[in-house]
Amino acid sequence: MSEDTRSEVYAELAAVGPYGVRPGHALITMVEPHPGHEYAYNRWYEDDHYYAGAMAMPWMYAGRRWVATRDLQLLRYPEKSAIAQPVTAGCYISTYWITAGRYADHMRWTVGINKRLNRDARVYQDRTHVFTAFQDHEATVYRDGAAGPRDFHALDHPYAGLVVQVVDAASPEQRAELLEWLRTRHLPKRLAGSPAALVTIFRPTPLPLDRMSYVKQVEGVDTRLTLLWFLEADPRQCWEPTFTGLDTAVEEAGLGRVELVAPFVPTVPGTDRYVDRLR
């Protein structure tokens, strides 16, 4: 006898609630496989977890994995980072878009499925979560205005690189000022003529109390912003001047401290490309 999957409920759920295409929320998860487990971790994540633990879930409609080879890790700054200790930790990052207004619905599912995956021994334990957080979308800044792909295309468009920038303001009030400065002054100037086509800005949200024990609670919920720069060129080819001095610019504006600037390139799904270049 087949298992009852309560299929009749799906039609009811599909008839209610938001179902737009905007990335109202994101999951951003930077992970370090333990030494000696790089190949096994990569195969587990790509062959199983990327789908069963992410893309198969309701309202998570786009995803992409990125990797930092050792030479990319060595470009990161600042050396003393509140995000990664050492700053080179976290050689893989996965980014996912969640439909606006569906965060609570998605979280109910993701907590449930991860408990099930754990029970079924389908969670790889030899890894460390360096920076994992669900985040709410605050703004997107485009280099070319209305031309080119939108933010909801960003994880499907074949961008050549990603730069993750994390900024901490001194207070919740200052974060609002920081966001406005980034959106209207700093990012338009930096993007002009650069290989970065767009920057999405997110703010982290707390993880639920019934989260998996190996994922630490999110820090900086009231003061932090996470920026994702999507690049049309390999970050190694355009690191200077676009991505050097981002910390200085924020500090000179008196609006906070940059805690991480980290470049990545996209993985090639179904392969182990770059795994032998992580150390």
Each of the 279 residues of the chain gets a pLDDT tens digit; together they read: 468 899 999 999 999 999 999 999 999 999 999 999 999 999 999 999 999 999 999 999 999 999 999 999 999 999 999 999 999 999 999 999 999 999 999 999 999 999 999 999 999 999 999 999 999 999 999 999 988 899 999 999 999 999 999 999 999 999 999 999 999 999 999 999 999 999 999 999 987 766 566 566 677 889 999 999 999 999 999 999 999 999 999 999 999 999 999 999 999 999 999 999 999
Q: How many domains does the chain have?
A: 1
Residue 228 lies in a domain: yes
86: preceding bond cis by omega (within 30 degrees): yes
Q: Is 275 within a domain?
A: no
Q: Is residue 111 part of a domain?
A: yes
Select from 136, 227, 143, 159 the least CA-distant residue to 191.
Answer: 143
pLDDT computed for residue 206 by the predictor: 85
For residue 11, is it within any domain? no
pTM, rounded to two decimals: 0.95
Output b/e per residue, 187-218; b: 16+ Cβ within 10 A. Answer: beebbeebbbbbbbbbbbbebeeebbeeeeeb
**CATH number of residue 57's parent domain:** 3.30.70.100
Closest CA to 206 of 107, 101, 83, 90: 107
SS3 content of the chain, % helix, strand, coil (to 5): 30, 30, 40
Give residue 1's pLDDT.
45
In a domain, 14, yes or no: no
pLDDT of residue 219: 79
- Tokens representing residue 89 in the block: 């930790």
Answer whether 275's CB lies under 8 Å from 42's CB.
yes
CA 55, 165, 270, 149 torsion-angle sign: positive
**123 to each of 98, 105, 107, 211, how far by Cα in Å?**
22, 22, 18, 14
Residue 50 belongs to some domain of the structure: yes
Answer whether residue 279 is part of any domain: no
Per-residue pLDDT, 152: 98
Asked if the structure places residue 271 within a domain, the reply is: no
Domain residues for 109?
20-266
